[in-house]
Amino acid sequence: MKRRQLEIWQLGGLLGLLSACTANIETGPQTQVTPPATGGASASGGTAGAGATGGTVPGSGGSVTAGSAGTGGTATGGSAGTGGAGGSMPTPDPEGNVPYTPPAPGAEALRARTWKLTHAQYAKTVQALLGVAVDTSDLEPDLDNGVYPNMSGSHFVRVPLATGYFRKAETLSSALTTAQLTALVPGGALTAASRDTFLASIIEKAFRRPATAEELTAYGGLFDLGASEGDPVLGFRAVVRGLLTSPNFLYRTEIGSDPAVADFTLTGHEVASLLSYSLLDGPPSAALLALAAGTELTQSATLGTQVAALVNQPEATAQLAAFMSAWLQVYLFDAEEVNKDETRFPTFLSIKQAMKDETVSFLAQYGGPTGTIPALLTTPVPMPTGPLGTFYTSEPSGSAGGVRTGVLALGTLLSVRAKPTSSSPTLRGKFVRDRFLCQQIHLPDDVVPDISETQMTLMPKTTRELYEFHASQPACAGCHTLLDGVGFAFEDLDAAGRFRTVENGVTIDTSGHLYETDVNRPLANHTDLANALAQSEWTRECVATQAFRFYFGVVEADRGIPPVQAARLSVATGAFRDMVVAVMSSPSTYHRVRN
């Protein structure tokens, strides 16, 4: 049969189709990016200049776009988008300046969705429901799609995870002691007479909302089946088991109450779950669920007050720390790939934990509820005592120490954006562009860089010279100028964040240049860069955007959506606590559309 079909294919006069399918390689972005701010990156043949307003950006190729498209996202004009284009940064002027321009207001409604609990949230929810701890280390890990680890679109329940949930439910329900089981039953009697009150109570706790009639029937059937052999306790256990694998337990839903209504407001209980899991990383309290029965959570006038109350809780501080870690990708520091060359950095592994602790401590103080963007970026990092301080001054030319300004100068972040043996101005510049300006630098398509013998002969010289060689090549200049001009400012801090003033006998040069922002300027060092970013409105919008992505678990389709812009305005004058309140207090928290 197969042979015959192949013959038909070959004899079928499909030459036109076949020829159409010979390789015809398409280049360029494959999904909509609106509009790419090519600016200096696509300018050609310029000469780098200096001066207060910046020079013309040299180079060619590549492009920079603001934001990034994503799944989900916000509604546009009443119908939800299916993946947005992220930002819409204005085109730079000939000198590479990009003054900040507020976007047009975006639609407030997000898309109806489900959002699976993370394993940590699952464990907390089991604890809250049953009063028992559960180990989730043997569950199939949730996927991190590279945006944030808790994105609603990246978690799938495939067979291994479904099996894990199934076994957990079986184990947990059968291991409950009589006392634990009794505690779940209003009135405390494990008898068939308690069936209906138990069902209403346990379903409401498990689903974070009152049970429906259909659910009472379905789980009542489970109870009856379990109790059918004469022991009602088995009925109670059967219900618990079923609830623990229910999608209403495993997911937060943002679907409203009537599937026929396309543009709708979430139920108060759905908002309660959204707020609690996003802000506190755990299930809603009884008090919050009580509020959910009213309208306080589904109206702008009252939502902010409730959000502010939640943000004052200790769990919200922990969640803000989780955001800081995820935004700045501190977790990457744990990877083996970050480890340094043992010959050049023999004590790196021994101080690795201390370096991470230093970052956690700094972020807790300046990235915590009372922290601000200027404080995070420009506060001097104190020289640590003990082995970590010794390590930072262990490079001979840097034994006298030096200046470390703000979060960008922390050893963890610098070590991640470096090679095992050398710093990487490109990786460091890319990090700043990506995480603090929300600019994605795209290399020119299908360009084979002329990396040749010449590069190898440069090795004995400085990192700066090596990267300047890259930037001297026409195909590479555009991107490297944008990236390395930022990254060079950190050259006095080596691959592991140690101070240095000399590299291979050549005095370190930390000068650089910041292009394609609203705060363009020549940079003498990374303190200049930190001060510039602290004044940048693009940075404020970017931080607000990152917060939106983390707390809502979705990439924005539009710069102008209410939570992003409210958070931008808030963080311009306020603290991170205020930013979080703003991002969660707009109508986007409760307004949804189906598509």
Partner 1 sequence: MLSKKNMFSRRALLKTTLGGVFLAPFLRQRALEAAPVLPKRLVLVFTPDSHPREWWPTMGGTYGFTLQEPLADFVGLEQYMQFVQRIDHSWTFDNHHEAGVAQLFTGQRFFDDATHYANGPSIDQILLKETEIRGGTPIASMHVCAGDSGGGDKRHVSSYSGPGQPIAHQADPARVFTDIFNGVTFGGTTPTPTPTPTPTTDINTLIAQRTLEVNMDEIRRIQTFLGQEERERLQIHLDSLAELEMQVDGTVTQPPATVGGTCEKVDTSGVNRSDRNDVSIDKWAKVQADLIVNAFTCDRTRVADFGMGFSGSHHTGMMGLVAGDNNSWHDTVAHLSVSNTSRTSNVQVNGAQMTVTEAFIKFDRLWAGQVAYLARKLSMIAEGDGTMLDNTLIYWGVESGTDHNHSPRDMQYLLIGGKNMGFKAGQYLKLPQTESAHKLHTSVMHGLGYTAATGFGIEPTCGPLAGVLV
The least CB distance from residue 351 to partner 1, in Å, is: 20
The least CB distance from residue 420 to partner 1, in Å, is: 5
- Tell me 407's DSSP state: G
The least CB distance from residue 242 to partner 1, in Å, is: 4
Give residues with Cβ within 8 angstroms of 367, minimum separation 6: 320, 321, 324, 376, 407, 576
Contact between 443 and partner 1 by CB under 8 A: the answer reads yes
Contact between 382 and partner 1 by CB under 8 A: the answer reads no
Contact between 30 and partner 1 by CB under 8 A: the answer reads yes
- Tell me 74's DSSP state: B
* One-letter-per-residue 3-state SS of 457-523: HCCCCCHHHHHHHHHHCHHHHHHHHHHHHHHHHHCCECCCCCECCEECCEECCCCEEECCCCCCEEE
Give the C-alpha separation, 299 to 435, whole Å: 32
Give the C-alpha separation, 532 to 539, whole Å: 10
Among 183, 287, 349, 451, binds partner 1 (CB under 8 A): 451
- For the record, the structure tokens of 464 come out as 């700066």
Q: For residue 437, give the amino acid letter.
A: L
111 vs 513, which CB is nearer to partner 1? Answer: 111
302 vs 473, which CB is nearer to partner 1? Answer: 473
- Tell me 246's DSSP state: -
Binding to partner 1, residues 222-261 (CB under 8 A): 222, 225-226, 228-229, 234, 238, 241-242, 245-248, 251, 253, 255-256, 259
Residue whose tokens read 């707390």: 551
Ramachandran class of 374: left when φ > 0, alpha when ψ lies in -120 to 50, beta otherwise? alpha
The least CB distance from residue 170 to partner 1, in Å, is: 7
Among 95, 144, 263, 296, binds partner 1 (CB under 8 A): 144
The least CB distance from residue 108 to partner 1, in Å, is: 18
Binding to partner 1, residues 47-66 (CB under 8 A): none
Among 314, 456, 507, 573, binds partner 1 (CB under 8 A): 456
Contact between 547 and partner 1 by CB under 8 A: the answer reads no
Contact between 2 and partner 1 by CB under 8 A: the answer reads yes
Binding to partner 1, residues 314-373 (CB under 8 A): 336-337, 341
134 vs 466, which CB is nearer to partner 1? Answer: 466
Contact between 159 and partner 1 by CB under 8 A: the answer reads yes
The least CB distance from residue 578 to partner 1, in Å, is: 27
The least CB distance from residue 32 to partner 1, in Å, is: 8
Among 57, 64, 66, 69, binds partner 1 (CB under 8 A): 69
Q: How many residues bind partner 1 (CB under 8 A)?
A: 108
Dihedral sign, Cα of residue 362, residue 366, residue 367, residue 369: positive
Residue 76's nearest CA partner among 112, 119, 108 is: 108
Q: Among the candidate windows 53-61, 154-162, 265-273, 576-584, which touches partner 1 by CB under 8 A?
A: 154-162
Contact between 14 and partner 1 by CB under 8 A: the answer reads yes
Contact between 137 and partner 1 by CB under 8 A: the answer reads no
The least CB distance from residue 10 to partner 1, in Å, is: 7
User: In terms of DSSP H, where are the helices of 47-136?
Assistant: 119-130
Q: Where does residue 33 rank: exposed (0-12), middle (13-18), buried (19+ CB within 10 A)?
A: buried
Residue 359's nearest CA partner among 337, 344, 338, 342 is: 338
Residue 142's nearest CA partner among 160, 128, 126 is: 160
Binding to partner 1, residues 91-130 (CB under 8 A): 111-114
Residue whose tokens read 């036109």: 16
247 vs 387, which CB is nearer to partner 1? Answer: 247
The least CB distance from residue 565 to partner 1, in Å, is: 20
Q: Among the candidate windows 45-53, 150-158, 177-185, 374-382, which touches partner 1 by CB under 8 A?
A: 150-158
Contact 323, 371 (CB under 8 A): no
Give residues with Cβ within 8 angstroms of 179, minimum separation 6: none
Give the C-alpha separation, 268 to 291, whole Å: 8
Contact between 6 and partner 1 by CB under 8 A: the answer reads yes
The least CB distance from residue 491 to partner 1, in Å, is: 14
The least CB distance from residue 447 to partner 1, in Å, is: 7
Q: How far is CA 357 from the centre of its chain?
A: 21
52 vs 159, which CB is nearer to partner 1? Answer: 159
SS3 177: coil
Binding to partner 1, residues 164-223 (CB under 8 A): 166, 169-170, 214-215, 218-219, 221-222
Give the C-alpha separation, 404 to 411, whole Å: 10
Among 11, 13, 24, 177, binds partner 1 (CB under 8 A): 24
Contact between 87 and partner 1 by CB under 8 A: the answer reads no
Residue 558's nearest CA partner among 74, 156, 27 is: 74
- For the record, the structure tokens of 92 come out as 């730079």
246 vs 531, which CB is nearer to partner 1? Answer: 246
Among 89, 110, 117, 161, binds partner 1 (CB under 8 A): 161
